[in-house]
Amino acid sequence: MTITRADLERLDADDPLAPFRDRFDLPDGVIYLDGNSLGPLPRATRDRLRDVIDREWGRDLIRSWTDNDWIGLPARCGALIAGLIGAAPDEVVAADSTSVNVFKLAAAALAMRPGRRVVVSEPGNFPTDLYMVQGLADLLGPDRVELRLVERDLLTAAMGPDVALLLLTHVHYKTGAVHDMAGLTAAAHAVGALTLWDLAHSAGALPVDLTAAKADFAVGCGYKYLNGGPGAPAFLYVARRHQEAARQPLSGWMGHAAPFAFDDRYAPAPGIARHLCGTPPVLSMTALEEGLKIAAEADLAQVRAKSMRLGDLFVSLVEQMCGPEAPHLVSPRDGALRGSQVSLAHADGYAIVQALIARGVIGDFRAPDVLRFGMAPLYVRHTDIWDAAAHLAEVLRTGEHRQDRFQARKAVT
């Protein structure tokens, strides 16, 4: 059945999440389909950062660590994130980057499985996850760590007695395909292995239940669907049952049991706090906290329902409007198996994305040929999906993307 723009106007009028859009400072004339890479600026963040700079830093100075509870930021942010990923507040902390957190937790997991050296992941996983394990293998030596890449369909079968850790990204960054977290975790546990889930494209975009899935460890980004700002601190999760045993290698003073005792010997803090390393970046963690407050207000079931609807509509509209010229669908067609993005493949993908950006439709490109369109339900409207598909069809019809100005690759794609 042909979809009309009026159908989508009706969906916008009935959308329970529609009021959230106003919480973000979105530029006029922009359809923002890249919240899976960098979430937009929440209006509250600008005011809060101004206050932190002028009053907390400018006037209260060092007293702010306690008077304005800067020191509590990692735990406060962690508790807000916990509510989005099916964890208890004391199982999550905000710290470092996702890359660094992968390193810390992969090392912790390997140490908890002495005699096993294999970390299983999949080819095409987000590179940093693989690179961090490769770095760990270089550091500890091949007799202690081996990274084994196994195709998605064979992951369960690859679980064996030499596997220490299964490291996967829950929602694939390029395709948007969702892994069965509970099923794969059970397969890992059946052979005595642990799991580490990268939730970069999951947290805030779809309901995640780490507790129900019996996941052991997780990490994730603050700057995507959590709208924490460019380079926002990341987070990590350690299931409570592992908190006594899990020791991370970056034994900085902020993870010490008593940082202000200034002891010469490292003694890990009890609980999740031992996974901190150095001083928290107060300005960026404050921005993250504002983003998280918004995410915490949204009903994740509504978020998921709208995200699947936006994705389904985009897939249908691209086919309806582009006809036989439609780029090939890379993401799963079934919304239940797809995260909050739709990825398409086209040989001229980079130039098409650039032509769309020039028209105000912001998505991104992932080599070699993938056009990614993120549908963050808190601010993307159904009519935006219509307009984005119409722009894509127009670019393809006119061949606008073949212009020279859209060919040169920028440093960030």
Ligand X SMILES: Cc1ncc(COP(=O)(O)O)c(C=O)c1O
Question: Residue 122 or residue 369: which is nearer to ligand X going by CB?
Answer: 122
Asked if residue 206 lies in contact with residue 304, where contact means CB atoms within 8 angstroms, the answer is: yes
Strand order in the sheet with 370-374: 328-329, 341-345, 370-374, 364-366
Q: Which one of 64, 121, 169, 354 is in contact with ligand X (CB under 6 A)?
A: 169
Question: How far apart are the C-alpha atoms of 101 and 199, rounded to whole Å?
Answer: 12
Cβ proximity to ligand X: between 56 and 233 the closer is: 233
Site residues (CB under 6 A) for ligand X, limited to 205-244: 221, 234
Q: What is the DSSP letter of 252?
A: -
Which range touches ligand X (CB under 6 A), out of 49-57, 91-99, 113-121, 263-271?
91-99
Buried b (16+ CB within 10 A) or exposed e, 83-115: ebbbbeebbbbbbbbbbbbbbbbbbbbbbbbee
Minimum CB–partner distance for residue 169 and ligand X (Å): 4
Binding window for ligand X (CB under 6 A); candidates: 25-33, 53-61, 123-131, 175-183: 123-131
Does residue 126 belong to the site contacting ligand X (CB under 6 A)? yes
By C-beta, is 169 or 248 nearer to ligand X? 169
Residue 139 beta carbon to ligand X: minimum distance, rounded to whole angstroms: 18
Site size for ligand X (CB under 6 A): 13
- Would you say 200 or 273 has its CB closer to ligand X? 200
Q: Which of residues 98-117 bind ligand X (CB under 6 A)?
A: 98-99
Question: Is residue 122 involved in binding ligand X (CB under 6 A)?
Answer: no
When asked if residue 289 is in the footprint of ligand X (CB under 6 A), the reply is no
Q: Which of the residues 173 through 202 are near ligand X (CB under 6 A)?
A: 173, 198, 200-201
* Residue 129 or 384 with smaller CB distance to ligand X: 129
> Rounded CA gap, 206 and 226, in Å?
11
Looking at beta carbons only, is 64 or 99 nearer to ligand X?
A: 99
Token readout for 249 is 């290698």
Of 7, 128, 243, 283, the residue at the interface with ligand X (CB under 6 A) is 128
The DSSP bridge partners found for residue 370 are: 345, 366
At a CB cut-off of 8 Å and minimum separation 6, what does 351 contact?
A: 401, 402, 406, 407
Runs of H (alpha helix) within 156-299? 181-190, 210-213, 282-297
Considering only the stretches 6-14, 65-73, 95-103, 189-197, report the one whose residues sit in contact with ligand X under the rule CB under 6 A: 95-103
> CA torsion sign, 43 to 44 to 49 to 51?
positive
3 state SS of 264? coil
Q: How far is the CB of 342 from ligand X (least distance, A)?
A: 16
Place of tokens 């983003």: 291
Give the residue numbers marked as catalytic.
126, 198, 223-224, 372
Site of interaction with ligand X (CB under 6 A): 97-99, 126, 128-129, 169, 173, 198, 200-201, 221, 234
